[in-house]
Structure formats: C-alpha cells, structure tokens
C-alpha cells in the first residue's frame, strides 16, 4: 500500500521539491499552500497529490485541515513541518512585532501542526515527524538572531518530542539545510530600513558586507538535494539518524565549529561582516557547494546595501 506524507508550505523551495520527489516515488502527498487560488496549476496532473489551503499561524485551520487529511487518507505516515520564513536584519532596528511574528510562524505554527497529528500517530502507534530547522540552528549567523533563534527552538522541540513520543512508536527527525536556491531570500521580512538614520549610521556598512557576500555567491545548492535527504529519512524512519545536516556550507561550518575554539569560530563570522567578501572567499564557497547548484534568488532592497 502507498504511504502518505503531509507537507506544509509547498508552493516553492524545499516543499515543492519534496512533493515532486515523493509523488514520483509513488507516495500519496497531502500538500499545503496558503492560498490555493494563487496556485491553480501547482502539481497539475500529479494524481497522487492533494492540495489543501493552510496558514499555520491559524491554529483552528490547522486542526480542521489535519482532520480533513486524516479523513481523506486514513493513515498518515510522515508529517513534514517545512513552512517558515526568514526575518533578517540588525536586532536593534527590528520591531518586536516582527520578532513575535517570526516565532508565531516558525515555532508556534510548527507546534500547532505537530500537536494536531500526534493523536493520529499515537493511535496508530506509528508515525514520523520531520521538522525543518536550519544550519542556523547548528551555529548562528549575524543578523538572524530571531530566525536562527526560532530554528534553535525547532531543534529543541524536536529533541524533546523525539524522547516524549518514542514510547508510542513516533519518531522525530530534524533537517538542518545550509543556504539553498529556494524562494526564501525573495520573501525576507527585513528588520532594516534604508531610510532609518540609526540603520544608516550604525549598521549599513556591516550589513551591506553580510548581504554583499550573499549576492556575490550567485549559485547555491539546489533544493532537490535536500528533498532527497528527506526522502531517505522518510524511507528509514527507525534509523538512528535523527539530525540531517544538508548542504556543503552547513557541513563545513559544522566541522569548523567542532575543530575551532569558540572565540576563533566567532572571529570568522565577525570578519565576515567587518570586511567585504574576497574573491578567494567566493571561490572557496563555490568549491564547497560542488556541482549541484542553481541561481540564488534574492530580492534585497538597493538602499540597504548602497
């Protein structure tokens, strides 16, 4: 019998790549988007994909959709908490509303989806949650204190639930991708404003170096490679591999954090904001990423950089 996977946030990036991969492998896929009318052709012709409308910050809707999916497919094998977005900018110039919203989606939304599927998994004594954290939850970058913080929260949630739910046959795995060619950098919530004198006087130079490094690296790893890592995890729910670090940059930084002293590791990242990225840095980054690359899509306002 075909297995069924539920995936949030599937109109772009990893979510879309996962739907395409799992359906091609014969899985039933229950896929969510925030607004179905905006994605009428999404997954067109893919018989084993069913699309649901879901904003994970609407907790009532989360319960309704989870019950609908369970009623439609009877047995759900895997739930992927993929949907999230990134708030980026200096913490001083970011509003508390932005910070709260970041946690509302990336942490509380993920918790709502998880809670709504636990009873089903518990009753069937089987099920796998795969939670998307980020390489920002293995070490963190500057200017993503809130985003990275939300992903460290996902890491902690996963670790705790993995123990708490184990007696019911439920597994929890966590994915930590490095920088990948999805749409996330075209939908950034900016915690910086190019017209704010505090930003311009105190942060613009350093933040421009940070963003400049991102835009200098024009090609990054394709989302399909992460989708494949998730597929391997879903096919081996009971393997002991609970944490999946995906992408050459994430693996390199993971290694550096292990071998360098805390101060030396921090110094590397401080240097990355004090000084613009060098051509040597770009070459090294390209070498780490290898051949499976796609253009990095970004939509950064000019007045944040120049």
Ligand X SMILES: NC(=O)c1ccc[n+]([C@@H]2O[C@H](COP(=O)([O-])OP(=O)(O)OC[C@H]3O[C@@H](n4cnc5c(N)ncnc54)[C@H](OP(=O)(O)O)[C@@H]3O)[C@@H](O)[C@H]2O)c1
CB 230 within 8 A of CB 80: yes
Q: Which of 4, 23, 82, 209 binds ligand X (CB under 6 A)?
A: 82
**Of 14, 121, 199, 253, which one interacts with ligand X (CB under 6 A)?**
14
Q: Which two tokens stand for residue 232?
A: 């391997």
Biggest CA pair distance of the chain = 62
User: Which one, of 23, 233, 281, 207, lies nearest residue 128 by Cα?
Assistant: 233
- The answer to whether the CB of 207 falls within 8 A of the CB of 141 is no
Tell me which of 105, 174, 209, 222 binds ligand X, using CB under 6 A: 105
| Residue pair 210/185 in contact by the 8 Å Cβ criterion | no
Compare residues 3 and 180 and give the one whose CB is closer to ligand X. Answer: 180
Contact predicate 8/32, CB 8 Å = yes
Quickly tell me which residue has 């290694």 as its tokens.
Answer: 255
Distance CA 233, CA 138 (A): 19
Nearer to ligand X, 31 or 170 (CB): 31
In whole angstroms, how close is the CB of 195 to ligand X at the nearest point? Answer: 25
User: At closest approach, how far in Å is the CB of 248 from ligand X?
Assistant: 12
Binding mask 84-103 for ligand X (x = CB under 6 A): xx------------------
Strands (E), 222-302: 243-246, 293-295
**23-31, 132-140, 197-205, 286-294 -> range binding ligand X (CB under 6 A):** 132-140
Cβ of residue 181: shortest distance to ligand X, in angstroms?
A: 7
Nearer to ligand X, 76 or 220 (CB): 220
Question: Looking at residue 109, what DSSP letter applies?
Answer: I
Between the alpha carbon of residue 281 and those of residues 7, 89, 249, 265, the distances in Å are 36, 22, 12, 16
Q: Which of 53, 55, 189, 292 binds ligand X (CB under 6 A)?
A: 55
Asked whether 229 and 175 are in contact (CB, 8 A), the reply is yes
The contact pattern for ligand X, residues 236-265, with x = CB under 6 A and - = no contact, is: ------------------------------
Q: Please report whether residue 166 would count as binding ligand X according to CB under 6 A.
A: no
Q: How far is the CB of 125 from ligand X (least distance, A)?
A: 28
Provide the binding-site residues for ligand X, judged by CB under 6 A.
8-15, 34, 54-57, 82-85, 105, 109, 132, 134-135, 177, 179-180, 182-184, 187
């Amino acid at each position: 019998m075909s297995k069924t996977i539920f995936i949030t946030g599937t109109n772009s990036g990893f979510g879309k790549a996962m739907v395409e991969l799992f359906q091609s492998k014969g899985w039933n896929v229950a896929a969510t988007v925030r607004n179905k009318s905006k994605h009428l052709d999404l997954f067109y012709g893919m018989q084993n994909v069913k699309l649901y409308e879901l904003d994970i910050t609407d907790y009532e809707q989360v319960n309704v959709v989870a019950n609908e999916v369970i009623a439609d497919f009877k047995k759900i094998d895997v739930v992927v908490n993929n949907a999230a977005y990134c708030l980026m900018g200096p913490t001083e110039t970011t509003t508390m509303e932005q910070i709260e919203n970041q946690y509302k989606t990336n942490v509380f939304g993920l918790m709502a989806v998880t809670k709504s599927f636990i009873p089903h998994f518990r009753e069937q004594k089987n099920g796998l949650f795969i939670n998307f954290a980020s390489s920002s939850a293995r070490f963190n970058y500057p200017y993503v204190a809130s985003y990275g913080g939300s992903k460290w929260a996902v890491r902690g949630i996963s670790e705790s639930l993995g123990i708490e739910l184990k007696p019911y046959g439920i597994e929890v795995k966590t994915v930590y991708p490095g920088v990948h060619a999805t749409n996330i950098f075209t939908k950034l919530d900016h915690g910086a404003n190019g017209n704010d004198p505090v930003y311009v006087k105190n942060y613009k130079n350093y933040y421009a170096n940070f963003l400049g490094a991102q835009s200098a690296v024009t090609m990054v790893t394709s989302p399909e490679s992460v989708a494949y890592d998730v597929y391997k995890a879903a096919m081996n729910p009971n393997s002991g591999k609970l944490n999946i670090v995906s992408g050459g940059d994430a693996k390199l930084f993971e290694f550096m954090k292990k071998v360098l002293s805390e101060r030396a590791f921090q110094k590397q990242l401080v240097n990355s904001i004090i000084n613009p990225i060098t051509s040597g840095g770009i070459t090294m980054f390209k070498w780490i990423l290898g051949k499976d690359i796609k253009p990095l899509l970004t939509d950064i306002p000019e007045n944040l950089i120049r």
